[in-house]
Homo-oligomer: A and B are copies of this chain.
Amino acid sequence: MANFSENVLEYAYSAGVNEYLTAVVDYYGSLGIKLSNKEVLSTVGGSEALQIVMNCILDVGDEILIPEPFYPNYNTFVSIANADIVPVPTTPEEGYFYAEKSRFEAKITPKTRAILISNPGNPTGVVLTPEQMRVMADIAKEHDLWLISDEVYREFVYGGEDLATMLVYEDIADRLIIIDSISKRFSACGARVGAIISRNQAFMAQALKLCQGRLSNATLEQVGAAALYAMDGDYFTAVREEYKKRRDTVMAGLGNIPGAVCQCPGGAFYIMASLPIDDANKFLIWLLEEFEDNNETVMFAPGASFYATEGKGTNEIRIAYILNCQDLARSMELLGLAVAQYNQQQGV
């Protein structure tokens, strides 16, 4: 970006700066997916990608199926479209597993337009197997629904598997929309560069109109994003190794907390767990206001905000393992101490 030499910072083309679109196409090429620049739209992060998609495919009162727990801002984008989220339930005991036909079919109504999944999942860290991805593709196909696959955490998988995308299933090309972003891939959240990817030309023509309505994404950020895509693969190997260690550190810590329920998640950088506490919100406030051990405390995201169903997730927490391993180990130690002390105070 520092080398940018144009005299005037003009509006970029609404679909995106060409070198950024090409970089995205080349990146997918490296995953074995052949795309053209016209199948990619540059967006202001994954957030705007989601917003544009919802505005394109959801009319007032339409329904979209989302496995819960889910990323809370999905609520924002669906409610702006005046549509409704219908949550598909999962449980911590099953490791938040959702890729099953019957779970979705139980929720489909004449108003259902789409299924939205995050894979790898935020907040659960769930990574679908190829078989499970195929199940999701089949559900969308059999019920004539859009499938929106939010794949912004693609690189963050720890089982040695190949990087996955729903784009491999060419039989759902006409109903598949990928949400992508450089925010996590290159740790560049503040650049606000993402993408909508779809082979459905009619959909892309409508999405382009909304892109034109807001004129363009920032020129320089797209130039910078294109440069990031030129980074070599060693970057990801190192990142993956580090995050895997962090995940294992948190899992080991959780294993030492009696009553904590959590299956080891395969990806993203989140762990969702249920704790033997009455209310994670209440517990969090207590952690921040009253608890301390050697002048230290710990915090997390309370689980209920990731659920659409009232009353669910009350005793669950989301841990983002974005600290170094030493701090994470100490955090889990603090969490264990705090759970015991909190329950003792409550007379549990």
Residues of chain A touching chain B, judged by Cβ–Cβ distance below 8 Å, are 1-2, 8-12, 44-45, 47-48, 51, 55, 60, 73, 75-77, 80-82, 187-192, 209-210, 212-221
Q: Tell me the bound Cα distance from A73 to B14 in angstroms.
A: 13
B12 and A213 contact, CB distance less than 8 A: no
B51 and A214 contact, CB distance less than 8 A: yes
A-B contact pairs, 8 of them (CB 8 A): A9-B190, A12-B190, A44-B217, A45-B215, A80-B81, A190-B220, A191-B218, A220-B221
A80 and B55 contact, CB distance less than 8 A: yes
Partner among B47, B60, B213 whose Cβ is within 8 Å of the Cβ of A82:
B60
A61: nearest residue on chain B (CB-CB)? Answer: B60
Q: Tell me the bound Cα distance from A188 to B220 in angstroms.
A: 11
Copies in the complex: 2
Q: Which residues in B have their C-beta under 8 angstroms from that of A80?
A: 55, 80-81, 210, 213
A191 and B9 contact, CB distance less than 8 A: yes
A220 and B45 contact, CB distance less than 8 A: no
Q: Tell me the bound Cα distance from A217 to B60 in angstroms.
A: 28
Q: In whole Å, how far is A52's beta carbon from the nearest beta carbon of chain B?
A: 10
Q: In whole Å, how far is A126's beta carbon from the nearest beta carbon of chain B?
A: 22
A45 and B214 contact, CB distance less than 8 A: yes
Q: Which residues in B have their C-beta under 8 angstroms from that of A191?
A: 9, 218-220
B213 and A192 contact, CB distance less than 8 A: no
Q: Tell me the bound Cα distance from A212 to B47 in angstroms.
A: 10
Q: In whole Å, how far is A112's beta carbon from the nearest beta carbon of chain B?
A: 19
Q: Which residues in B have their C-beta under 8 angstroms from that of A189?
A: 9-11, 215-216
